[in-house]
Amino acid sequence: MWKLVLGFIVFAALALFVLMKSGGNIDLTGEKHDVTGGHTESAASEASAALNAASAALPSEPASAASQ
């Protein structure tokens, strides 16, 4: 059993060593919760542009007036 634990520790250390030496951006500080949300403004403007385009494609007169 101790061999399995030792093998896991050696494998984990080797994997971390290889990843750090390969230049990967490794962050071991845990889960990040970014409250600034830098991409939300562009997503909101894209959504409003899509809504404007969809409303422009609709006929301007109401359906009841068009049927008369």
For residue range 18-63, list pLDDT tens digits in order: 888 887 676 777 787 776 655 555 666 777 777 777 776 666 665 5
What are the backbone dihedrals phi and psi of residue 46, each rounded to the nearest 5 degrees, phi first?
-65, -40
Predicted pLDDT at 46: 74
Stated pTM of the model: 0.36
The Cα–Cα gap between 44 and 68 comes to: 39
Q: What is the mean pLDDT of residues 3-23?
A: 91
What's the pLDDT band for 5 if we cut at 50, 70, 90? Answer: very high
What are the backbone dihedrals phi and psi of residue 27, each rounded to the nearest 5 degrees, phi first?
-120, 110
Predicted pLDDT at 20: 82
Q: How far is CA 61 from CA 23, 36, 51, 58, 66, in A?
A: 61, 42, 18, 9, 7
What's the pLDDT band for 12 if we cut at 50, 70, 90? Answer: very high
